[in-house]
A and B are shown apart, each in its own frame.
Chain A
């Protein structure tokens, strides 16, 4: 099922934190900030899809129109 999305999110999180460390060491704070933001946006897009599916399911099951 869509369980692998959790692993994807965790992988993105670890990747972003590693990139952050490297960029901070290299003195590129502004780029590391952008990396963080990009990670958040990507993960948000993945999660929002699932949440909308959940909401639609609940809507149709409980006849909430």
Chain B
């Protein structure tokens, strides 16, 4: 199970070499090799992510943390994960401007997601001050 890292590295190296070979002739298909390798690598580790999220949920429940707050954190994490993936793909394709727009969009979505918590925090501060 822990030998997954060798699979990961081997897969990445093979994909990099194949992408390099394809780049001279068909740059667009070499991009697809890179995308497929990225998706497979991420899919390989999402199984472990389930365990991590379960442990986090368990710890939050033990600490009597508000369940909605942890869910917001997890959502932000997921959005960051996906936005990063998309941005990297665009960067690989040489479209740096689209990549930075994807990142900006992800940041705005995360900000709008976390705004209720921020408002709650400010309300608590105001209550303390009053």
Q: Which residues of B contact A (CB under 8 A)?
A: 11, 14-15, 18-19, 21-22, 25-26, 28-30, 32-33, 35-37, 39-40, 42-44, 46, 49-50, 53, 71, 74-75, 77-79, 81-82, 85
Contacts and interface: CB of A to CB of B under 8 A. Distances in A.
Interface string A9-39: 1101110110010000000000000001001
Contacts of A53: 39, 43
A16 B30 CA distance: 12
A13 B46 contact: no
Residue of B30, B39, B85 ringed by the most chain A CB atoms within 10 A: B39
Contacts, number: 100
Interface in A46-65: 46-47, 50-51, 53-55, 57-59, 61-64
B22 A64 contact: no
21 contacts: A2-B40, A2-B43, A3-B11, A6-B36, A6-B40, A9-B32, A9-B33, A10-B22, A12-B29, A13-B33, A14-B21, A16-B29, A17-B26, A39-B29, A40-B28, A40-B29, A43-B29, A54-B46, A58-B81, A61-B49, A63-B71
